[in-house]
Structure 1
């Protein structure tokens, strides 16, 4: 092959990319204390939380490698957190999540007292306003979804205000057509109900007849296998790109858009709170800041001067 290349190099090139075998990236193994993972599963923590806790507590153990975990002090834990903040530049959200992963071991697995953590400084999280899409942008996204399964998934997230994990955890039995409701196993093991669109119900029936899911409402290539979260992300990203939307679009934005559009249609905050599964109505009230309709109803003080 090199002789062939030397002879024809002015006119051709050899693509070696097909020659090399691409080996799958090895999965990281997490060595955790006995009972840590088991208790997370027993308490029915979400898959995403379990994954995060595994990573974060493994990092904590690696930082204090060779030391007895049960002999570590608050100062040792603070030393680790300071390292993560200053050297690794983790966000406030991740900082608090890492503290929770450590707390879980000492308070739940080892059944220690909560005041053990009195000295750990928690970061104050910056609460940005939710990003939402306009109705025109939503229409343009749906126009790009020719695949029925893809269209049903994205439609459900938007029309019911679902989190990604909530959509993927749905079963066919969670679609309660006689009451036009969707049963959702939500965050923190809370069950709630949200709206089922009449337009979407017909689409879901066609989808069910075509795909015949066995366990989950939306399954992967293998029957009974949950649909891939990363594949779902790509579906929306590609649809937004084809729709010509220049700014970043992500799945959770559809949940924010659901709440904002309901507010703009005149739905009261308490109802939106229940549909979203918010414990505190203050969380729901943040959508008042992004609702154009709500702002449009506020009279400008300058325009009111002549009324006095």
Structure 2
């Protein structure tokens, strides 16, 4: 199963998650995965929902892993054993106000921690993307950082000049070997749990009562960009979303009254010299 997913260029995180999912259902029935029936698998999903209160995303992850096992490894026709996915939860993500976001990113005493949060908020990167920025991904001349996102898809994110100056100051002080943010071991990326702890601690220090995680900075970036007048398609490209529908959820969060709306009764600057006959 691992080989099949590597051939299909799944990310390391997805490979680990799917293998873990199949291993858990195998241990639940004490049977090899290939001997577990569709009805048994459905019973396992029902157990996850009713007994373990698992989220919709966790259930979908299990179904996706099951599909790869059945269709690609066991060569069974998926149409005959198709399992319908649960309806998606329509929960709006937690978003900080701009005042709260500035309080959060300004609260760390450590320059490294502060820069980590600033970069997360200023670019809207996912946590895994941020922690796996390599030094060679940073293009100072073009003021962009190359990001490797979900499915190993790459995109470039523009970085404000002041932030690049901060990155240079950070590099001169910390001298990372491979990744921009590294832990105690040179050449090893900073851990996700460490960033989670930084965000939680800083939220407490800043007096923020909301349930905060690193992903909240990404949600806040997207919402505040819309409020500043960035169009939805541009935001989709910045966030690395495959579908514009995914990005559109932020329309429900943004206060679009804050956006600078053009006065269509006024001529555009390049039209000021035109004369009507």
Question: TM-score, length-normalised on structure 2?
Answer: 0.87
Q: 1:244-291: CA deviations, max 9, x gaps? A: 112221111111111111111111111001101111112111111111
State which of 281, 299, 303 in structure 1 corresponds to 2:244. 281
Query: 2:155: which partner in 1?
Result: 192
Query: 2:53: which partner in 1?
Result: 89
SS in 2 for 1:39: helix
SS in 2 for 1:194: strand
Gaps of 5+ in 2: 262-277
The two structures, once aligned, show a CA RMSD in angstroms of 2.1
Deviation (angstroms), 1:109: 2.9
Q: 1:229-253: CA deviations, max 9, x gaps? A: 1001111111111111122211111
Shift in alpha-carbon separation, 1:160–1:113, aligned structure 2, 3 A: same
Question: TM-score, length-normalised on structure 1?
Answer: 0.78
Query: 1:58: which partner in 2?
Result: 23
SS in 2 for 1:223: coil
Greater Rg by CA: 1
Matched, 1:132 2:99: no
State which of 79, 87, 94 in structure 2 corresponds to 1:115. 79
Shift in alpha-carbon separation, 1:249–1:117, aligned structure 2, 3 A: same
Q: What is the CA–CA distance in structure 2 between the aligned matches of 1:246 and 1:161, rounded to whole Å?
A: 22
Query: 2:70: which partner in 1?
Result: 106
For 1:255-294, list aligned pairs within 5 A.
Answer: 255-294=218-257
Q: How many residues are paired up?
A: 261
SS in 1 for 2:104: helix
Contact 1:158 1:254 in 2 (8 A): yes
Shift in alpha-carbon separation, 1:116–1:227, aligned structure 2, 3 A: farther
